[in-house]
Chain A
Amino acid sequence: MKRTRADRAGKRAFAGWIGKRVLGGILTVLLASVLIYGALRLVPGDPVLAMTGGRRLTPDQIEALRHRHGLDRGFVQGYLAWIGDALRLDFGMSTNYQTSVTSLITNRLGVSGPLILYSAVLAVVSGLAVALVSAVKGGLVNRAAGMAAAVTTATPTFVSAIGLLALFSVGLGWFPATGAGTGLADRLWHLTLPAVAMAIVAFGVLARVGNAAFAEELRREHVEVARSRGVGAAAVIRRHVVRNALAPMLTIVGLLFASLFVGTAVVETAFGLDGVGSLLVSSVSRRDFPVVQGIALIAVLLFVVVNTLVDLAMPFIDPRVALGGAGR
């Protein structure tokens, strides 16, 4: 049959398209890894001296360090050794903690992971709810929401963090000021203020971008046509407005994860949380390069994975994004 042949061709094209996307993602990560490794080699002066921060070491110790970090080899060989280990999830030893970078990061992810997720859920739910309500209601509600979005977008995260600490922790005493807590409920309680602090900017961005996307979909003729057919108001919003705004929203939410990951640096430091973000900050100041490199590579990986997943989801959300759109 003609259709089945077309279907099979379509499936092949789809598989090819997925392959291309995944390959593109891998190349991006590899390119980023070269830059991340290169940054270490580009540190002015001897990276080992930078690492040791001027501590006096015997020439033997220095040589051992140089060897451990592949600095006694050329750039290419050194990079290949590093990335080869990284592929096996071995990022070397932390010069500061004297433990494996991998286990260090893994432990810290137990705090940062829930923090990012918690914050993402808060931002997405509140941001999109405000975006939808303001787009549908219009008028004064819309103006108020626009103002709230502008203010929250412009508030630096460290300012939010200090404000929240002062009010809810020091002032009202509702939430703890430091620590990540143990057990699920306790951890959620401890992570609430940091998550809110991180979510504030993201909320503003989502409220604004979401409002624009929903408003645009509301103006579409098929929305009016649906109303003209007697489709109920709630169903019109669900099936013709929210459904159609899903594609642009998903793209934004994908980008959001990357920015939240970066945001942990400020928030974890402010709230005294032992997460990946605060580890990054302390490792940079202590010139613990293996840790910095490991975190940077994981951040890039996370970013690429999320965006590739978003890309792969697109044709299922918007059928007009042809699977053949691979060509673009």
Chain B
Amino acid sequence: MLAKKTPAREEAPDGGAGTRRDALGISRLSLAVGTGESEIPLLADVTVRVGRGETVGLVGESGSGKSLTARSALGMLPRGARATGGVTVSGVDVLAAGYRELRDLRRTRVSMIFQDPRASINPVRRIGDYLTEGLRARGVPARGAAEQALDLLGQVGIRDPKGAMGRFPHEFSGGMLQRVVIAGALSTEPELLLADEPTTALDVTTQAEVIGLLKEMQRAHGTGMLFVTHDLDLAAAICDRVYVMYAGRIVEESAGASLFGAPAHPYTRALLEASPSVHGGRAEIKAIRGRPRALAEAPSGCAFRDRCPLAGDECAETVPAHRPHGTSLVACLRPEQVTP
């Protein structure tokens, strides 16, 4: 399966997601809400693996299902959703876990950083409360939690950590708040960090700083990270491996570094061409025609075919299976026409 055939990383023993050594193993996860006629599929056959200490990107336009995938690692499925497939975090079966097991998993093994730090922290409580809340939930005594929180604030570059502990979120900039959130996420020494567009709500200069900090902290703590973004360039630059997602499915998996030179899926190439940082000039940016689709409204066969310049009749027949091409695993019938 997907995880086994991908080059440039260690062999996964059971050939799929969910080995004990992996921080995260999502295998063939499908999600749907509603029943019968009104069933809405949200994710189909999503397989994502994050090894210990590995940085893995999850890229796609908005609505492609990135957040749903990342949240599934916390056992946070949409209300009334049915799931098939498997989700394991450090060997714990998340989909089968009850309230207590999930709570303990979240306390100790997996942390998530959300898009908007200002919405993530309770506005009427102090920064110190936010940090110690996570530590206290883990069973750290009050004194120790306060000391650890101070230390963490220093580590993420907050000036005057002591004063910061007593201040409220509205007294901080978005970038500073995201640093606080990062400190909180790492305070529990998780094996897996889920970062869902952690810089999208920040201004450009702060983005680079926060990414740098995130990578640095991740390295220092040896945490595996699933980095969710709509920015393929960013993902390719900082990730060991990248999954490209479209309409609730993974359409390509590739080593981060080889994405720029050798995209295998037409969608990946389109994302690269639409990106301003690869093509310096404004005129060269090519927007992807059409609009992104959710799984529920995607065409039959290859979901990308209504936007794909290479689409042919056979693309409508079945959902393309994943197959190796170059350094990628790709779900497309004609990857050789993208990169020979």
Which residues from chain A sit less than 8 Å from chain B, CB to CB?
Answer: 3, 220-222, 224-233, 235, 239-240, 243-244, 247, 317-320
Which residues from chain B sit less than 8 Å from chain A, CB to CB?
Answer: 74, 76, 99, 102-108, 111-112, 114, 116, 119-125, 133-134, 137-138, 163, 168, 170, 184, 188
Q: Across the interface, do A320 and B99 meet the contact criterion of CB distance under 8 Å?
A: no
What A residues does B138 contact at CB under 8 A? 230
Q: Across the interface, do A244 and B122 meet the contact criterion of CB distance under 8 Å?
A: yes
Given known pairs A319-B124, A320-B170, the reply for A221 and B184 (CB within 8 Å) is no
Q: Across the interface, do A222 and B170 meet the contact criterion of CB distance under 8 Å?
A: no
Number of A-B contacts (CB under 8 A): 73
Q: Which of A226, A233, A318, A319 contacts B99 (CB 8 A)?
A: A233
Q: Which of B107, B121, B122 contacts A230 (CB 8 A)?
A: B107
Give the CA-CA distance A216 to B3 in the complex, in Å. 42
Main secondary structure of the interface of A (DSSP, over half): helix
Q: Across the interface, do A231 and B137 meet the contact criterion of CB distance under 8 Å?
A: yes
Given known pairs A3-B163, A220-B119, A319-B168, the reply for A226 and B124 (CB within 8 Å) is no
Taking the closest CB of chain B, its distance from the CB of A100, in whole angstroms, is 48
Given known pairs A220-B119, A221-B116, A233-B99, the reply for A226 and B125 (CB within 8 Å) is no
Give the CA-CA distance A319 to B105 in the complex, in Å. 33
What B residues does A224 contact at CB under 8 A? 76
Given known pairs A229-B133, A319-B168, A320-B170, the reply for A222 and B121 (CB within 8 Å) is yes
With a 10 A CB-CB cut-off, give which of B74, B133, B188 has the most chain A CB atoms. B133
Given known pairs A222-B119, A222-B120, A244-B124, the reply for A229 and B184 (CB within 8 Å) is yes
What A residues does B107 contact at CB under 8 A? 229-230
Taking the closest CB of chain B, its distance from the CB of A217, in whole angstroms, is 10
Write the chain A residue with the least CB distance to B160. A3
What B residues does A239 contact at CB under 8 A? 122, 125, 133
Give the CA-CA distance A320 to B105 in the complex, in Å. 33
What B residues does A230 contact at CB under 8 A? 102-108, 134, 137-138
Q: Across the interface, do B106 and A225 meet the contact criterion of CB distance under 8 Å?
A: no
What B residues does A222 contact at CB under 8 A? 119-123
Q: Across the interface, do A229 and B137 meet the contact criterion of CB distance under 8 Å?
A: yes
Write the chain B residue with the least CB distance to A231. B137
What A residues does B137 contact at CB under 8 A? 229-232, 235
Give the CA-CA distance A229 to B125 in the complex, in Å. 16
Taking the closest CB of chain B, its distance from the CB of A6, in whole angstroms, is 11
The 4 closest A-B pairs by CB, nearest first: A230-B106, A230-B107, A221-B119, A319-B168
What A residues does B133 contact at CB under 8 A? 226, 229, 231, 239
Q: Across the interface, do A243 and B124 meet the contact criterion of CB distance under 8 Å?
A: yes
Taking the closest CB of chain A, its distance from the CB of B114, in whole angstroms, is 6
Write the chain A residue with the least CB distance to B115. A221
Q: Across the interface, do A317 and B124 meet the contact criterion of CB distance under 8 Å?
A: yes
Q: Which of A229, A235, A318 contacts B124 (CB 8 A)?
A: A318
Give the CA-CA distance A224 to B79 in the complex, in Å. 13
Taking the closest CB of chain B, its distance from the CB of A137, in whole angstroms, is 13
Taking the closest CB of chain A, its distance from the CB of B74, in whole angstroms, is 5
